[in-house]
Amino acid sequence: MKTRNACKALSGVSLLAMLAAGPSFAQEEISIRIASGFAPNVAAVKILQETFMPRVDERLAETGNYSIEWREAFSGTLAQPGGELEAIQLGLTDIGVIPTAFHADRLPLYQIGSVTPFTSSDLVLIFGVMDDLVEQYQEFSETWDPLNQVSLAVSGIPDNYVLCSRVPISTKEDVDGLRVAGAGLNLRWVEPAGAVGVTGTLANFYQLVETGVADAMMVWGEAIVSLKYHEVCPHYFDAGMGGLNSYVINVNKQAWDRYPEEVRTALREAAVEYGVAIGNFSAEVGAQARDTMLESGGTVTELSQEDRLAWVNSLPPLAIEWADALEGEGVRAREILAAYMEAMREADQPVLRDWDVE
């Protein structure tokens, strides 16, 4: 009888322990495929693995109601760089990082950084301003409705575009005639100086210069260091062009509708942290670029303030042209542009041209 009572007591204790740990027994595992055309040595993916995914896991672990089975599809295994938008749209992946520069025709509102050069190199500020605009203007969310996806947050990696070249560049005039590899509308920053734009991606810039298809590339410090671009173009020319938003983290609409609210919240919050982390990473690693160039036998040239002003004022009214084209489609682009530029001025950024008041 004592043995039987002891067993009952033990059973009661075990039951209480199970009840106390209830969420772990009721935990639901959600499978999420996450994709990028880039490899893990590219910051977009590196910070996904080191910040975004762990932060989602940490938030969900606080309650224990849900866990994520991450199914990674990087390095072009599911989509090539630039193919992420379609992969999310078609449901081939649940989540992905979209390089917005590759889709100027389908994502025109997200090109605002490409039409406001020489404005800011503070990526965390840029992302914060963009996220505020996304929340304030419904035109941003309406961009994604026909593309069957939900956008979590704005991010990017270029904090300050520089020219990384095979031969030294000392002045704006030296750019004349150079074939410059770049992506998206930002090639318009150098084409008025006589450069010939060569469209490419982070995945093939190295090869384009190595094989002589391009003489230089339009990149930023972090990319030079992380992707070893200095091996093929050891000369660094900084005109202070500034940075821009270049990524969004998006979710397929059908996948989003399936996720519990707790998971949605974790994804949104982690996406914002991703932007902060990638912005800080770009600044920290990018600070090594000049020394890396010099150590490899290259040169570093920084344009004077006077020459920078001459450069920016030689550009066409990029932002006004962009805004007017969108206004013709019923988008409040001039208002959005004014809000963006005013936020930069209020943050005491080194704005060299008031793109919104021409």
Residue 184: its pLDDT value, please? 80
Question: Which domains, ranges and CATH numbers included, belong to the chain?
Answer: 28-157+245-285 (3.40.190.170), 162-243+289-326 (3.40.190.170)
pLDDT tens digits for 323-333?
A: 999 999 999 99
Mean pLDDT of 105-118: 97
- CB contact burial 227-263 (16+ within 10 A = b; e otherwise): bebbebbbbbbbbbbbbbbbbbbbbbbebbeebeeeb
Distance CA 336, CA 133 (A): 7
pLDDT tens digits for 244-276?
A: 999 999 999 999 999 999 999 999 999 999 999
Burial of 292 (0-12, 13-18, 19+ CB in 10 A): buried
> Is the confidence at residue 21, as pLDDT, over 90?
no
Residue 288: its pLDDT value, please? 96
> Is the confidence at residue 25, as pLDDT, over 60?
no
> Is the confidence at residue 150, as pLDDT, over 90?
yes
pLDDT tens digits for 152-188?
A: 999 999 999 999 999 999 999 999 999 999 998 999 9
pTM for the model stands at 0.90
